[in-house]
Amino acid sequence: MSSFAIETVQLDREYRTSTGTIRRRRLVVPALSGISLAVPPREIFGLVGPNGAGKTTLIKVLTTLLLPTSGRASVLGHDVASEARSIRRKVNFVFGGERGLYWRLSAEDNLRYFADLYRVPAREGRPRAQELLELVGLSDRRHERVEGFSKGMKQRLHLAKSLINRPQVLFLDEPSIGLDPVAARQLRSLIERVRREHGTTILLTSHYMWEMETLSDRIAVIIDGTIRHLDSPQALRTAAVGSHVVELVLADAADEGVVSGAAREFGLAVAASADGRRVIRVHTSRPAHLVAAVVSQCDLGIAGHSIRDSQLEDAYVLMVEGK
């Protein structure tokens, strides 16, 4: 039996659909191709990738909502195809923007309803609902109907609902979509708390790179249904773009010939910034050295420069654009 919380080996998943209105043609969409990964217990594992990369499909296979086309996947040692019932009892999920709550019921009644669905003994259902409402900061609103809740409150209630069966593995697909920065931050600290206090393994997707960088122990970058990179956020960042981003702002009078000569020599790309200035942006692990070299070796006409730590988003953009 696998000691990993989640394991996949050469996992493929296709969708069979059709195209065209008059002459309909069969279409096979390969959503996942040869996905192999192993997530140990208690890890927060991030999945990032462009729209349509296959993240939701992977979560649907792992939560037994979709069968694999070929390859293997197991959760807590149970095979997704042959042991789906065992998996469903032990995992739970939140799909961002989902309408999976009963809006006309109160927060507490929602949780007690889902406790019944998961066959939580009646004696335990009420205290567990209270405890989860406390955890997500909704105790004092527990008797109010969900339809009056803000997006952030609903998302926190979704998270509480997903913990009702004390899952060992939690799948969160864009849980913070549409939340304001304060609500998103509250949700992030809740996710960390769930892992810390319950030892839950969490597989998370989000398009917010800052969020993924903050929360994830490791991140897989999925592009066109395959894992292209897999490492810690810091390792992904520095391998792709170095530790720093330097921006050299060119003076209005900077000589075109000198600028393009320097760009060639140092392998730099000149881009226009939002305010119309010409900027040379370069990723490097030796920012001071680079600035000194560029400034001393050519009279570029530099009006200013800035150096900042590189972020996962810098690396992500390069990985996706470079494919």
Ligand X SMILES: Nc1ncnc2c1ncn2[C@@H]1O[C@H](COP(=O)(O)OP(=O)(O)OP(=O)(O)O)[C@@H](O)[C@H]1O
Least distance (Å) between residue 120 CB and ligand X: 30
In angstroms, what is the minimal distance from the CB of 135 to ligand X? 27
Q: For 106, which DSSP code?
A: B
Q: Is the CA virtual torsion 54, 60, 66, 71 positive or negative?
A: positive
Q: Which backbone phi and psi does 159 adopt, to 5 degrees?
A: -65, -45
| Residue from 18, 21, 51, 296 binding ligand X (CB under 6 A) | 51
29/307 with CB nearer ligand X: 29
6 φ/ψ sector (left φ>0, alpha ψ -120 to 50, else beta): beta
- The correct pick among 19, 24, 52, 148 for binding ligand X (CB under 6 A) is 52
Q: Which is nearer to ligand X, 230 or 249 (CB)?
A: 230
Stretch of residues binding ligand X (CB under 6 A), selected from 49-57, 159-167, 176-184, 260-268: 49-57
Nearer to ligand X, 109 or 224 (CB): 224
Q: Confirm or reject binding of residue 206 to ligand X (CB under 6 A).
A: no
**∠ CA(196), CA(198), CA(203), 5° rounding?**
75
- Distance, in Å, from the CA atom of 73 to the CA atom of 7, rounded to the nearest integer, reads 6
Which listed residue (19, 29, 70, 117) binds ligand X by CB under 6 A?
Answer: 29
Least separation in angstroms between residue 24's CB and ligand X is 14
31 contributes a contact to ligand X by CB under 6 A: yes
Yes or no: say if 175 and 155 are a contact pair by the CB < 8 Å rule: yes
Q: Are 24 and 18 in contact (CB under 8 A)?
A: yes
Q: Between residue 262 and residue 301, which ones bind ligand X under the rule CB under 6 A?
A: none
Piece in contact with ligand X (CB under 6 A), picked from 45-53, 123-131, 149-157, 238-246 = 45-53
**15 lies in the binding site for ligand X (CB under 6 A):** yes
Binding mask 53-82 for ligand X (x = CB under 6 A): xxxxx-------------------------
Cβ-based nearer residue to ligand X, 126 or 229 = 229
- Please report how close the Cβ of residue 323 comes to ligand X at its closest, in angstroms: 15
Q: Does 49 bind ligand X (CB under 6 A)?
A: yes
Shortest Å distance, C-beta 100 to ligand X: 17
Taking the least distance from each CB to ligand X, the nearer of 53 and 194 is 53
The amino acid sitting at 282 is V
| Choices 47-55, 77-85, 135-143, 192-200; region in contact with ligand X by CB under 6 A | 47-55
Return the sign of the alpha-carbon dihedral for residues 163, 164, 165, 166: positive
- Three-state secondary structure call for residue 114: helix
Q: Work out how close the CB of 63 gets to ligand X at its nearest, in angstroms, rounded to a whole number.
A: 13
Helices (H), 104-245: 107-117, 122-135, 151-162, 181-198, 209-215, 233-241
Query: Should residue 178 be labelled a site residue for ligand X when binding is judged by CB under 6 A?
Result: no
Could you tell me the smallest distance in angstroms from the CB atom of residue 49 to ligand X? Answer: 5
Find, among 46, 205, 178, 166, the residue nearest to 99 by Cα.
178
**Strands, DSSP E only, in the chain?**
6-19, 25-39, 44-48, 70-75, 78-79, 91-95, 169-173, 201-205, 218-223, 226-231, 244-250, 269-272, 278-284, 302-309
Q: At closest approach, how far in Å is the CB of 8 from ligand X?
A: 14
Match 């921006």 to its residue by tokens. Answer: 247
Summarize as ranges the residues that interact with ligand X (CB under 6 A). Answer: 15, 17, 29, 31, 49, 51-57
